[in-house]
């Protein structure tokens, strides 16, 4: 049975959007475009080819907190200074160690999101979670896993790879210390070949210390990305060494193919490499070979070849066509290793006078910056959630994302490749130190075949390197840019700079990014007319979803035009970048709200209010500004809601975002007049509040083509549950994302509802997180209850590996307030092909 298809993944649309809107949305077009393409992780997408095995190592781990200062509460680790004196002496990574009282869990896992909030201003930027050197009891975690290696694996090379763990990691196997890692975003691996027991049980243990951070935002704690166990022949392809570079020549494309083969065997080997190129339908469209080379023991060899691709299907934001190459290593007529590499054919050019061109056509970058956390799960996002988040940004017309401020997870990059979202891919540390260069190399080598990536970014807002240490900054940046270009000569290199770009790190950049400062680009362009420009970070507008009065006492910001002192509203920044031909476009800060940096307020706010959508992905009103001016379809959105009890007779600002010619506003059936819609702007009225309804009617060419109404609702009397999909895979990984709504007796969403709702989840799944988008809500992300915030909440449930039904019931929680009619929803989990995985010892459904 084939892997889950795009149609399975996307067909029901997003719970956050009305069905009528979905029918004509960019997201619906994306769903249709990508239907029947395999999801990453399916057998099709992974292209598993013998003798290489890549096994998911996420299931069946044990977890326990350690302690950052007391060895007695840290498995005795560091009690003296002799822990590392002899190899093989770590008892906690041996068979006799008792972990029966440890918690069993699956990865990815973020323990920080499970912790309570603390009113500690030093933890402000990290979301007020008790993680750091002053919180030793909750800053160290231990992970342990028993696994078997068959005797048939003897002679193979076996490595464990971590896509990301936060932050300082020590790895032990069978009592031996085998490796360490000291950053939270770059992947790392350990070769376990010599330390394993073959035909027997083995034990791997990780000590993860989150006492130090890498950034100034919420970063989580623990093994928050996937883990893999990879088995290869002793003669195998080098890690992330296979490249496919396409050069378009008229109606064809020349593919420059390259790879590295490593010999970790016991004798010199003669090996040859071949490539097969497949289109999206699986048809072979090109082949190539490289002649055999002799590879010494512990040596490597580089192989290159070219292939011609006739009439290539280009990758673009509207048609994200992908190809794949199977790279095969043979020796003595035997396949020794093979891997599948996904790539696209496209051109991406930045021009100093004309802006950005994709495949020779001008295209404004309509981007957002995004951190990697989400409501309910923190930094440990299931793969499906990456697609959900990307679809939200696509729905508003976004065509690009910036991975602020770190190397992204592979699933985010893959989703961008497959859904047609361009990317500015950013490393965490701007440094030419060995550690900084290693992180940069890992990012570029891992993702250089991804067509979505159009910019490599070597950092963000390095104040000191831009000014006081400008001379050193220029040297550091030059080294990093040069290394990017050595590894990937096909893409431009830049960074996000909050200065004038006249000195320091900006000197070697291929393109110049401005953070904010709308007074800077015009003058810079005049003085440096040959340097392409774009907005590397813009806007920083702030708002609280569904709130229409700024109230500092309640830490709320109006949803009309809030903005920080250094930023710009959506209209201000896009009017600037959208009307200058030489500007390539830009990236708004931010697409999603995120934990930490609780701007513009501090405690009790626990997340930022910069997002165009909230932490759950529920749109704020500004979302519809972008939908109007970034989207391709007619659009009309009127706000605010019309529930202002106690404000009868007050003037209420009524705004409309639309890309139509003209809008007329009605209040309780009476026209307040029509207004022409200014290009890249909005229209607004003042309306005296009386219960009833407001209605906007949008016209194009003199005809009303869209209407939208807001009605005064009654109190909340019922709950409604809807899901992004009602059928998911029974693979222990797939999720359904539920929207929870408070309704009045007419079935209308109550836009001010704040009822506490309880959730009962049973059957073939479990609740893994809840949220509501309230930047001031300190309720648990993991308990089965959540208050509605302005009518909405979110529940995330995950399947087990057992096909069946997940039954979800939403009920009124607590004794206060009126009774609510409960809601029930059933999610069907279907049997499908599971990703190859390391077997669990005692699988749980």
Characterise 115 by phi-psi region: left (phi > 0), alpha (psi -120 to 50), beta (else).
Answer: beta
Catalytic residue among 114, 241, 441, 461, which? Answer: 461
Decide: 695 and 665 in contact? Cβ < 8 Å.
yes
Characterise 773 by phi-psi region: left (phi > 0), alpha (psi -120 to 50), beta (else).
Answer: left
Query: DSSP assignment, residue 821?
Result: B
Question: What token pair was written down for 395?
Answer: 């729905």
Phi, psi torsion values for 441, nearest 5 degrees: -60, -45
Burial 523-534 (b: 16+ CB within 10 A, else e): ebbeeeeebbbb
Decide: 383 and 4 in contact? Cβ < 8 Å.
no
Decide: 692 and 708 in contact? Cβ < 8 Å.
no
Give the residue ranges of DSSP H helices in 23-70: 26-34, 43-46
Cα(413)–Cα(419) distance, rounded to whole angstroms?
10
The total of other beta-carbon atoms located within 10 Å of residue 505's CB is 28
One DSSP character per residue, 208-262 reads: EE-SS-SSSS----B--S-EEEEEE-SEEEPTT--EEEEEEETTEEEEEEEEEEE
Nearest to 312 by CA among 248, 243, 245: 248
Spatial neighbors of 462 by CB under 8 A, at least 6 apart, are 430, 473, 495, 504, 505
- SS3 for 137? helix
**Long-range contacts from 432-439, C-beta under 8 angstroms, 24+ separation:** 432/475, 432/476, 432/479, 432/480, 435/182, 435/183, 436/480, 437/479, 437/480, 437/483, 438/186, 439/183, 439/185, 439/186, 439/407
Known catalytic residue: 537? yes
Give the full edge-to-edge strand order of the sheet including 61-65. Answer: 103-105, 61-65, 140-149, 200-209, 168-173, 176-182
Sign of dihedral through CA atoms 60, 66, 68, 71?
negative
Catalytic residue among 44, 264, 395, 537, which? Answer: 537
Decide: 102 and 143 in contact? Cβ < 8 Å.
no
Rg (CA), the chain: 27
Decide: 831 and 730 in contact? Cβ < 8 Å.
yes
Q: Which residues are catalytic?
A: 461, 537
């Amino acid at each position: 049975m084939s892997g889950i298809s795009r149609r399975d993944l996307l067909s029901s649309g997003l719970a956050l959007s009305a069905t009528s809107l979905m029918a004509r949305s960019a997201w619906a077009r994306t769903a249709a475009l990508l239907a029947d393409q395999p999801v990453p992780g399916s057998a099709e997408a992974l292209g598993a080819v013998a003798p290489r095995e890549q096994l998911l190592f996420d299931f069946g781990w044990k977890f326990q907190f350690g302690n950052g200062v007391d060895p007695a509460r840290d498995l005795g680790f560091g009690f003296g200074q002799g822990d590392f004196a002899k190899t093989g002496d770590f008892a906690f990574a041996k068979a006799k160690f008792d972990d029966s009282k440890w918690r069993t869990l699956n990865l990815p896992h973020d323990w920080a999101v499970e912790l309570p909030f603390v009113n500690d201003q030093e933890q402000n930027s990290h979301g007020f979670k008790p993680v750091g050197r002053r919180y030793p009891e909750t800053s160290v975690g231990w992970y342990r896993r028993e696994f078997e290696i068959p005797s048939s694996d003897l002679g193979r090379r076996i490595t464990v790879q971590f896509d990301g763990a936060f932050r300082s990691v020590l790895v032990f196997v069978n009592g031996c210390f085998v490796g360490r890692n000291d950053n939270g975003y770059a992947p790392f691996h350990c070769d376990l070949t010599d330390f394993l027991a073959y035909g027997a049980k083995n034990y791997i243990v990780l000590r993860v210390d989150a006492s130090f951070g890498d950034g100034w935002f919420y970063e989580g704690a623990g093994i928050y990305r996937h883990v893999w166990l990879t088995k290869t022949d002793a003669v195998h392809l080098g890690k992330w060494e296979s490249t496919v570079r396409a050069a378009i020549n008229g109606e064809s494309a020349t593919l420059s193919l390259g790879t590295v083969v490593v010999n970790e065997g016991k004798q010199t080997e003669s090996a040859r490499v071949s490539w097969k190129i497949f289109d999206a339908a699986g048809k072979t469209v090109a082949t190539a070979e490289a002649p055999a080379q002799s590879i010494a023991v512990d040596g490597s060899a580089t192989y290159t070849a070219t292939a011609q691709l006739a009439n290539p299907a280009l990758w673009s934001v509207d048609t994200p066509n992908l190809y794949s190459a199977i790279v095969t290593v043979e020796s003595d007529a035997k396949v020794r290793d093979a891997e599948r590499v996904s790539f696209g054919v496209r051109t991406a050019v930045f021009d100093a006078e004309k802006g950005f061109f994709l495949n020779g056509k001008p295209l404004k970058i309509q981007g957002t910056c995004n951190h990697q956390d989400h409501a309910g799960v923190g930094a440990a996002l299931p793969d499906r959630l990456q697609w959900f988040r990307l679809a939200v940004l696509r729905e508003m017309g976004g065509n690009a994302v910036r991975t602020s401020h770190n190397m992204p997870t592979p699933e985010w990059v893959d989703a961008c490749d497959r859904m047609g979202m361009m990317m500015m891919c950013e490393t965490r540390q701007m440094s030419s130190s060995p550690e900084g260069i290693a992180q940069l190399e890992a990012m570029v080598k891992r993702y250089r075949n991804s067509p979505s990536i159009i910019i490599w970014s070597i950092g963000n807002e390095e104040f000191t390197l831009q000014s006081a240490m400008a001379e050193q900054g220029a040297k550091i940046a030059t080294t990093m840019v040069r290394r990017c270009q050595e590894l990937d000569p096909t893409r431009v290199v830049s960074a996000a700079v909050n200065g004038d770009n006249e000195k320091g790190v900006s000197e070697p950049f291929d393109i110049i990014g401005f953070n904010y400062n709308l007074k800077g680009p015009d003058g810079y362009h005049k003085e440096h007319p040959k340097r392409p420009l774009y907005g590397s970070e813009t806007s920083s507008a702030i708002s609280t979803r569904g709130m229409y009065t700024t109230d500092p006492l309640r830490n709320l910001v109006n949803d009309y035009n809030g903005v920080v002192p250094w930023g710009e509203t959506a209209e201000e920044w896009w009017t600037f970048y959208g009307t200058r031909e030489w500007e390539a476009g830009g990236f708004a800060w931010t697409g999603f709200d995120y934990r930490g940096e609780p701007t513009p307020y501090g405690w009790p706010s626990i997340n930022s209010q910069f997002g165009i959508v909230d932490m759950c992905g529920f749109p704020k009103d500004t979302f519809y500004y972008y939908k109007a001016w970034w989207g391709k379809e007619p659009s009309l959105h009127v706000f605010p809601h019309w529930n202002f009890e106690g404000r009868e007779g007050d003037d209420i600002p009524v705004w409309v975002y639309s890309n139509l010619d003209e809008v007329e506003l009605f209040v309780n059936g009476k026209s307040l007049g029509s207004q022409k819609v200014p290009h890249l702007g909005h229209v607004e009225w003042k309306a005296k509040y009386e219960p009833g309804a407001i209605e906007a009617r949008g016209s194009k060419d003199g005809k009303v083509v869209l209407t939208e109404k807001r009605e005064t609702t009654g109190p909340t009397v019922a709950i409604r549950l809807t899901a992004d999909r009602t059928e998911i895979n029974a693979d222990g990984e797939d999720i359904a994302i539920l929207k929870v709504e408070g309704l009045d007796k007419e079935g209308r969403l109550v836009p001010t509802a704040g009822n506490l709702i309880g959730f009962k989840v049973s059957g073939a799944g479990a609740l893994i997180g809840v949220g509501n988008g309230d930047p001031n809500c300190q309720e648990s992300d993991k308990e089965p209850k959540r208050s509605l915030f302005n009518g909405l909440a979110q529940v995330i449930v995950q399947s087990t590996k057992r096909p069946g039904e997940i039954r979800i019931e939403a009920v009124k929680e607590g004794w206060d307030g009126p009774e609510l009619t409960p809601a029930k929803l059933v999610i069907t989990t279907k049997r499908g092909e599971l990703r190859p995985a390391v077997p669990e010892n005692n699988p749980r459904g």
